[in-house]
Amino acid sequence: MANVVVVGAQWGDEGKGKIVDWLSERADIVARFQGGHNAGHTLVVDGTVYKLHALPSGVVRGGKLSVIGNGVVLDPWHLLSEIATLRDQGVEITPDTLMIAENTPLILPFHGALDRAREAASQAGTKIGTTGRGIGPAYEDKVGRRAVRVGDLADRDVLAARIDRALVHHDALQRGLGMGPVDRDALIADLLAIATDVLPFAGPVWKRMDDARRAGRRILFEGAQGALLDIDFGTYPFVTSSNVIAGQAATGVGLGPGAIDFVLGIVKAYTTRVGEGPFPTELLDEDGQRLGERGHEFGTTTGRKRRCGWFDAALVRQTVATSGMTGIALTKLDVLDGFARLKLCVGYDLDGTRLDHLPTAAEAQARCVPVYEEMEGWSDSTEGARSWNDLPGAAVKYVRRVEELVRCPVALLSTSPEREDTILVTDPFED
């Protein structure tokens, strides 16, 4: 039996939620290993739509343990609100079905205030496109050793000491941005008020995961965002504040790298991006508009319209390498139905030099012109296809060419938001 990491291979929004839910049927544990509630997963199960942000996708499936690992930053108020929403939809969430690492850093209200103030103060061209939910500042506090963590909620004196340490830093920042100091006592009171609701879920996730692995339990590691938003290997500085690539899965829950057996990269059949930053294959024409409308390209978390473009094989080839992907899950193939011609980016032209990868510097990335390879499109529908025989010949050729260009085989092919509309080539848990 294999333990599987699922990671987005583009800028996020690749359809990870559906794939994770589909795979969770085979898993015993679904563990979230990085990110905050700035990412969203939309799941459609038996006609019911679930929108998740902080919780792992496994919570909507009974009999699974869902885990929020130490690699996540967690807004406790949002967590409780999300739990309440899902309970109203009939989902059972208890300490038996959800466990939160006690060393998970918390996102506090001043993190969000700082996030939004910085973005508002940024000049045109320097804005990151943050959701303003405090994820970046919370990760800064983690690295700066001034974070308040889930386990700190159990002791008022410890909590107060952690808050005091953080406010030495944050009060000075807020003054510099023209904001008043944080109300220390009110914040402590607010945290203590929710502690009794949060702490029953807290525990040593690393130990639970180690015990599960030794017992042969199947673990599905779930990330947020996409690999091109990785703090080290993404389109920096227009990235998220954590490591998104597959290597973070082990660190983010307290396991060693030997716990990872299969890395599944989720790849959309075209390319989208939310927020600022370079996007070589972006389409600002009717084709881009058509992709956005057919793909319903609006963010789960913010509702922001996503930028759309042709498939960038050069970028996905990079993420295949940096995450060590074993196979890819190709999603939203049906959005390409009806295009007479399709384009695949195979590299870039940078000031007259041909590149097979995106350069590191943001300024150089912005000057890259995509080099395209064209393919014949198809007129027949691929929506709902559940076998290769259901696909038009041109669609099969497109998928095969994607495999060649990104240097990774297709393990799953998704043809609609419905979980059953999936063509399974390789079961990652049986690899």
Residue 151 is part of a domain; what is its CATH number? 1.10.300.10
Long-range contacts of residues 227-234, Cβ cutoff 8 Å, at least 24 apart: 227/7, 227/8, 227/9, 227/10, 227/265, 227/319, 227/322, 227/323, 228/9, 228/10, 228/11, 228/315, 228/319, 229/11, 229/12, 230/322, 233/318, 233/319, 233/322
Is pTM beyond 0.85? Reply is: yes
Domain boundary among 211, 227, 262: 262
Say whether both 131 and 81 belong to one domain.
no
pLDDT of residue 61: 82
Between helices 109-121 and 156-176, what is the axis angle to 10°? Answer: 10
pLDDT band at residue 393 using 50, 70 and 90 as cut-offs: very high
296 and 400 assigned to the same domain = yes
pLDDT tier, 26 (very low <50, low <70, confident <90, very high otherwise) = confident
Q: What is the pLDDT of residue 401?
A: 98
Q: Are residues 161 and 35 part of one domain?
A: no
Q: Read off the pLDDT of each residue in 26-32 and give the average, rounded to a whole number.
A: 93
Last residue within a domain, chosen from 198, 219, 246: 198
- Supply the pLDDT for residue 128: 72
Q: Are residues 336 and 305 in the same domain?
A: yes
Looking at the structure, tell me whether residues 309 and 241 fall in a common domain: no
Rounded Cα distance between 244 and 84, Å, is 28
CA neighbours within 13 Å on the CB side: how many for 164?
6
pLDDT for 194-248, tens place per residue? 999 999 999 999 999 999 999 999 999 998 889 999 999 999 999 999 999 999 9
Residue 124: the pLDDT is 65
- Kindly report the average pLDDT of the chain as a whole number: 93
Higher model confidence: residue 348 or residue 223? 348
- Range 14-36 average pLDDT: 88
Q: Three-state SS for 62?
A: coil
349: containing domain: 267-430
Least confident interval from 109-123, 220-234, 336-350: 109-123
Share of the chain above pLDDT 90, in %: 79
In terms of domains, do 272 and 417 share one?
yes
Same domain, 305 and 274: yes
In the chain, % of residues over pLDDT 70: 97
Taking residues 256-262, what's their average pLDDT?
A: 94
* pLDDT at res. 299: 65
Residues 311 and 391 in one domain: yes
**CATH number for the domain harbouring residue 225:** 3.40.440.10
Domain end marker among 238, 262, 286: 262
- Total domains in the chain come to 3
Kindly indicate the confidence band of residue 152, based on its pLDDT and cuts at 50, 70 and 90. very high
Question: Looking at residue 235, what is its pLDDT?
Answer: 94
Residues 329 and 417 in one domain: yes
Q: What is the pLDDT of residue 44?
A: 73
Residues 37 and 90 occupy one common structural domain: yes
Q: Which residue has the higher pLDDT, 48 or 81?
A: 81
Residues 209 and 97 in one domain: yes
pLDDT at 130: 76
Instruction: Report pLDDT for 132.
Output: 82
- pLDDT beyond 70 at 339: yes
Q: Tell me: the pLDDT tens digits for 268-318?
A: 999 999 888 999 999 999 999 999 999 989 765 566 789 999 999 999 999
Token pair for 239: 């990235």
The predicted model gives 347-355 an average pLDDT of: 97
Which string of DSSP letters, residue by residue, matches 322-378? HHT-SEEEEE-GGGGTT-SEEEEEEEEEETTEEESS--SSHHHHHH-EEEEEEEE--
Mark whether 47 and 190 lie in a shared domain.
no
For residue 385, with 0-12 CB atoms within 10 Å meaning exposed, 13-18 middle and 19 or more buried, which class applies? buried
Q: Which domain CATH number covers 393?
A: 3.90.170.10
Average of pLDDT values for 165-182? 93
What confidence score (pLDDT) does residue 16 get? Answer: 83
Q: Report yes or no: 299 and 40 within 8 Å, Cβ to Cβ.
A: yes
On whether the CB atoms of residues 270 and 288 are closer than 8 A, the answer is no
The pLDDT value recorded for residue 123 is 66
How high is the pLDDT of residue 303?
67
**Could you tell me which residues come within 8 angstroms of residue 334 by beta carbon, excluding any fewer than 6 positions away?**
381, 382, 383, 384, 385, 415, 416
Active-site residues, by number, are 13, 41
Q: Is the pLDDT of residue 125 over 70?
A: no
